[in-house]
Chains A and B, each alone.
Chain A
Amino acid sequence: MANALVSGGVRSWYTRAASGRWTVPAFIIVWTVVVIVPLFLLLLYSFLETKGFKVVWDPSFHTWDRFFETGRWTVAMRTLRIAIGMTVIELVLAFPFALWLAKGCRSQGLKAILLTLLTIPFFLDLSSRTIIWRALLGSNGVVNTVLMELGITSEPVEWLIFTEFSVFFGLAAPYFATMVFPIFLVATLIDDEYLDASRDLGANPLQTLFLVIVPLCLPGVIAGVVFTMVPMMGEWVVPQLMGGGKVNMIGRSTEDALSTLNYPTAASLSAFVLAILVALLAALTLLTRRRGGVAGLFEALKL
C-alpha cells in the first residue's frame, strides 16, 4: 500500500515534470544561477583592477587598457588560431579514420583493439607523454641525431622544438580521440541501406560521401569539434613543454595573472575568449540556418 502510494507520487511528479510545467522554469532558474550569474560576475570583474593583491571596487577600463597594451589580446588570438587550426587538422585526419572504423573495418577484433588504443590518452598524464617528445626532437635528440648521421643536415634542426610547429605537433595525438569518437558513433548509426540506395540511384562514391555520409555525420562532427577545440583552448601543458614558453596560450597567461591574484585580468582574458566563442557560435547558427539550425542537424540522428 505504502509502496503503491510512493510509486504513484513519483509517477505524478514525473508526469508533472515531463509536462514542462516545472521543468522549463526550473531549468531557467538553475541555468541563470549556475551559468549566467557567474558570467556576469566574470564580466564585471574585468572592469575592476587589483592593487597589492586586493581587488579594488573602482570600475574602469584600466584592466582592458592593459589587456591590449601588454599584448594579452594576442595570446587570445594565438590561442584561437592554434585551436581552430589544430581542430581542422584533427577533423581531416579523424573523419576518414572514424568512417573506416565504423563502416569499413570488418574485423570486430581489430575494431575493439583500435577503440581501446584510442582511449589510452585518457589514462596517461599529458605531461608525461609530452615530455618524451622533447628528448626526441631536441637539438641532441634522436631525430636530429639520425638526420645528421644520414647527412640530411649538418646542424641540428632547431625548429623541431620550442616553436609553434612543435606545439601543433604535440597537440595532434592528445586530441585525436576526442574527434574520432563522436564521428565514429554517428557513422555507426547510418543505415547501410541509405548507402545502397545512393549507389542504386547512380551516385558515385564521392557523391555518396559528400551528399549522404557527410550530412548525416554532421552531428558527430559538431560534437567532435566542440570536444576537441574547447579543451584545447585551455591547454597549457603542451604549449609550455613543446613551445618552451615561447608560444604563450591563454591557459598559461590566465594562470600567470592568477599568480598575482589578478582576477580582473584573468576575467578579461576569459571574457574576451568567450565573446569570440559566442561570435563563432552565431556564425555557425547562421551557416546552418537553411538546415534548421544546429539543433536541426541532430534531427539526422532520428534515422
Chain B
Amino acid sequence: MTQREEDPRFGAPTRREVLKTGAAAGVSVAVAGGLSVGMTQVAHAASDTIRGYGTTTVQLKDWSLFNESTGLTMEFTPTDANMGNFMRDVTVNEVGDTHDLFFTDGGTQYKLGPEGFYLVIDENHPELALWERTSDNYKRGYITQTPDGTQYGVPMVNNADSFGYWPEAIGVNPNGLEEVSWQKLFENEEAKNRASIDRNWLLTMPEVAFYMQVYGKAEIVDNANLTPEEAKAVGDWAIERKQAGQFRTFHTGFEEQVQLLGNKEVDIINCWEPATKNVNAEAGADVVRYAYTVEGYFKWGIGAYIPTQAAERDNLNNIYKALNYFLDGEYRAYQAIERGYGGPNLDLGVKYAEEVGWPADQVAAVDAVQKKVDTKYEKPFWENLNPDHQEAMEEEWQRFLNA
C-alpha cells in the first residue's frame, strides 16, 4: 500500500471535483459572507512584479530591499496563519490565478501538491543558484516535500512557538532564560482571567492536548493529530478551564496579539515571537519575553510554493529569482533581526550583516537566532498542521467556544 492510499489526507477533492461542486459551495461561501478573494480574478501577464500571497510574517518590513537586490517588485497579499482558509482560497477561490507565489506553513503540499495546485520545484533551475548549498535539513522533509519525496516547496523561515509573557506578572525571572511551564498559560491561578489563547483550533488545540498529554490528564497518542475521542477529552478539559475563568479573551490575528500584550490587557498569551518583538520595540527592550518552555514546542516552518497557474504566465524565471533571494543572506539576516526567525543558509545571513557593516551586537543576534531555534528543538515538539480528523477537532473546539 502506498503512502497515498494509507493517508486519509489524500482522500481530499481534486481541483475538478471542487469545481464540480463549486455552485453549491459558492452558495455556502456566499451565505457566510462572500468570497474573500472574489470571483473576478483574471490571469495576469508576465511582468517584473511578483505577487505573493500568504502568512504575513514572512514579509520583509521593507520590501524595497528585495526590489533593489532582485530588480523585481513584490506585491504581497498578507493572510493570517489559518491553513483552512488558505486552502480554501487556493482550491475554491483559485487565488493562483492572480498570484505567483504562496507562502504558508508546511503541510499543505500533502494535499495541494498531488491534487495539482502546486508546481513541482525545478531544483536545477538556473535562477535557483543557492539550492545546491542549502542544507537538506531545511530543504527536505515536512515543510517542503510530500511523503514520496516530491519537492513542492522552498524553505523560508522556521521557529518553535510557545507564548509571550510579562515576567513579573507571572512570577518568573525577567532575563527570559528561565524555562516556563505551559501551566502558566492554562492553569495558573495568578494568571486567572489574565491569559489569552489563539481562537484558531489548529494552533491552540494541539497545545492544550500537549499539556494534557505531558501531565497525564488524558490518554493522547499524538497531540497534533487527535482522534475524535481525544479531541472530545481536550474539549472537555478546555471548557473546564474556560469556566474556571482562566481566559480573558480568545485572539485571532497578529495585530491583536501585539495589542493585547502591549496594552497589558493580558499577562500571558500564546502568540508568534514577532509579537513580543513588536511590543518590545514600543514598550522598551525585553520588557516582555517569549518563553523557553519546560515541556516543549510547536515546531513550524513556512515554505514558498508556486501555483500551477504560474506555468502559463511566462514569469517562472522571475519566480525562481525571488525564491533564490529567500535563500540568500539579506532575507535571512532581516528575518532574524526583525522576527527572530531562523531558516536556511544562516551563515549567509551573518556574512551579509558583516559585509554591510551592521553593529557587532546585531551580527551576533543574527548568529544567535539559529542557536535559539536549535535549543528549542532539543525539547519535544510537534509539527503537524494537517490532522486526519479536522472536522472532529474543529467541532470540539466550537463546543469549547460556545460553552
Where the two chains meet, the residues of A that have a C-beta atom closer than 8 Å to any C-beta of B are 38, 41-42, 44-45, 49-55, 66, 69-72, 74-75, 131, 134-135, 138-141, 158, 161-162, 234, 236, 240, 244-246, 248, 251, 253-263, 265-267, 270
Assuming the contacts A53-B390, A74-B402, A256-B398, asked whether A263 and B25 have C-beta atoms less than 8 A apart, the reply is: yes
Verify if B87 is at the interface (C-beta below 8 Å from A): yes
Contacts of A51 in B (CB 8 A): 8, 11, 391
Q: Whole-angstrom distance between the alpha carbons of A131 and B259 in the complex?
A: 10
29 contacts between A and B (CB under 8 A): A42-B24, A44-B24, A49-B391, A51-B391, A54-B12, A75-B398, A134-B259, A140-B263, A161-B265, A162-B248, A236-B33, A253-B401, A254-B32, A256-B201, A256-B394, A256-B398, A258-B28, A258-B88, A259-B88, A259-B394, A261-B84, A261-B88, A261-B91, A262-B391, A263-B24, A266-B28, A266-B31, A267-B31, A270-B32
Assuming the contacts A52-B8, A52-B11, A261-B84, asked whether A248 and B401 have C-beta atoms less than 8 A apart, the reply is: yes
State whether B24 touches A54 (Cβ < 8 A).
Answer: no
- List which B117-176 residues lie within 8 A (CB) of chain A: none
Contacts of B390 in A (CB 8 A): 52-53, 260
Verify if B9 is at the interface (C-beta below 8 Å from A): yes
Verify if B65 is at the interface (C-beta below 8 Å from A): no
Which of B41-49, B249-257, B301-309 forms contacts with chain A?
B249-257
Q: Whole-angstrom distance between the alpha carbons of A5 and B233 in the complex?
A: 77
State whether A53 touches B394 (Cβ < 8 A).
Answer: no
Q: Whole-angstrom distance between the alpha carbons of A263 and B24 in the complex?
A: 9
- List which B5-59 residues lie within 8 A (CB) of chain A: 8-9, 11-13, 17, 21, 23-25, 27-29, 31-33
Most buried by A among B8, B32, B82, B388: B32
Contacts of A72 in B (CB 8 A): 398, 402
State whether A52 touches B396 (Cβ < 8 A).
Answer: no
Verify if B61 is at the interface (C-beta below 8 Å from A): no
Q: Which residue of A lies closest to B399 (CB)?
A: A70
State whether B391 touches A41 (Cβ < 8 A).
Answer: no
B300 → chain A closest CB, angstroms: 18
Q: Whole-angstrom distance between the alpha carbons of A75 and B264 in the complex?
A: 30
State whether B249 touches A162 (Cβ < 8 A).
Answer: yes
**Chain B window 259-271, contacts with chain A (Cβ cutoff 8 Å), 1 for yes, 0 for no:** 1000111000000
Contacts of A75 in B (CB 8 A): 398, 402
Where the two chains meet, the residues of B that have a C-beta atom closer than 8 Å to any C-beta of A are 8-9, 11-13, 17, 21, 23-25, 27-29, 31-33, 82, 84-85, 87-88, 91-92, 111, 193, 196, 199, 201, 248-252, 259, 263-265, 388, 390-391, 394-399, 401-403
Contacts of A53 in B (CB 8 A): 12-13, 87, 111, 390
Q: Which residue of B lies closest to A75 (CB)?
A: B402
State whether A260 touches B398 (Cβ < 8 A).
Answer: no
Contacts of A260 in B (CB 8 A): 84, 390-391, 394
State whether A70 touches B402 (Cβ < 8 A).
Answer: yes
Most buried by A among B21, B28, B32, B391: B28
Q: Whole-angstrom distance between the alpha carbons of A202 and B391 in the complex?
A: 67
A34 → chain B closest CB, angstroms: 11
- Give me the 4 closest cross-chain CB pairs, A-B, nearest first: A245-B250, A244-B249, A259-B84, A71-B402
Q: Whole-angstrom distance between the alpha carbons of A26 and B354 in the complex?
A: 73
Q: Whole-angstrom distance between the alpha carbons of A270 and B30 in the complex?
A: 10
Q: Whole-angstrom distance between the alpha carbons of A279 and B29 in the complex?
A: 24
Q: Whole-angstrom distance between the alpha carbons of A151 and B55 in the complex?
A: 45
Q: Which of B12, B21, B33, B265 contacts A234 (CB 8 A)?
A: B33
Q: Whole-angstrom distance between the alpha carbons of A160 and B259 in the complex?
A: 17
Q: Whole-angstrom distance between the alpha carbons of A185 and B388 in the complex?
A: 55
Main secondary structure of the interface of B (DSSP, over half): helix
Assuming the contacts A54-B13, A256-B398, asked whether A139 and B84 have C-beta atoms less than 8 A apart, the reply is: no
Contacts of A38 in B (CB 8 A): 24, 27
Q: Which residue of B lies closest to A55 (CB)?
A: B21
Contacts of B92 in A (CB 8 A): 261
Q: Whole-angstrom distance between the alpha carbons of A261 and B29 in the complex?
A: 10
Assuming the contacts A54-B13, A258-B32, A260-B394, asked whether A71 and B399 have C-beta atoms less than 8 A apart, the reply is: yes
Q: Which residue of B lies closest to A259 (CB)?
A: B84
State whether A259 touches B249 (Cβ < 8 A).
Answer: no
Contacts of B24 in A (CB 8 A): 38, 41-42, 44-45, 263
State whether A270 touches B28 (Cβ < 8 A).
Answer: yes
Contacts of A66 in B (CB 8 A): 395
A200 → chain B closest CB, angstroms: 52
Assuming the contacts A41-B23, A260-B390, asked whether A244 and B88 have C-beta atoms less than 8 A apart, the reply is: no
Q: Whole-angstrom distance between the alpha carbons of A38 and B25 in the complex?
A: 10
Q: Whole-angstrom distance between the alpha carbons of A141 and B262 in the complex?
A: 12
Contacts of B396 in A (CB 8 A): 70
Q: Which residue of A lies closest to B389 (CB)?
A: A52
B318 → chain A closest CB, angstroms: 32
Q: Which of B85, B264, B397 contacts A140 (CB 8 A)?
A: B264
State whether A266 touches B32 (Cβ < 8 A).
Answer: yes
State whether B263 touches A71 (Cβ < 8 A).
Answer: no
Q: Which residue of A lies closest to B34 (CB)?
A: A234
Contacts of B91 in A (CB 8 A): 261
State whether A245 touches B401 (Cβ < 8 A).
Answer: yes
Assuming the contacts A246-B249, A248-B401, asked whether A140 and B265 have C-beta atoms less than 8 A apart, the reply is: yes
Contacts of A138 in B (CB 8 A): 263, 265
State whether B88 touches A270 (Cβ < 8 A).
Answer: no
Contacts of A49 in B (CB 8 A): 391
* 13 further A-B pairs in the complex, CB-CB below 8 A; given A259-B88, A259-B394, A261-B88: A52-B9, A70-B399, A75-B402, A134-B263, A138-B265, A140-B263, A141-B263, A254-B31, A256-B394, A257-B394, A258-B88, A267-B28, A267-B31
Contacts of B403 in A (CB 8 A): 71
Q: Which of A41, A70, A270 contacts B398 (CB 8 A)?
A: A70
Assuming the contacts A245-B199, A259-B82, A259-B85, asked whether A70 and B395 have C-beta atoms less than 8 A apart, the reply is: yes
Q: Which residue of B lies closest to A266 (CB)?
A: B28
Q: Which residue of A lies closest to B193 (CB)?
A: A158
Q: Which of B17, B88, B394, B398 contacts A71 (CB 8 A)?
A: B398
Contacts of B28 in A (CB 8 A): 42, 45, 258, 263, 266-267, 270
Q: Whole-angstrom distance between the alpha carbons of A131 and B193 in the complex?
A: 20
Assuming the contacts A70-B395, A246-B250, asked whether A54 and B33 have C-beta atoms less than 8 A apart, the reply is: no
A37 → chain B closest CB, angstroms: 9
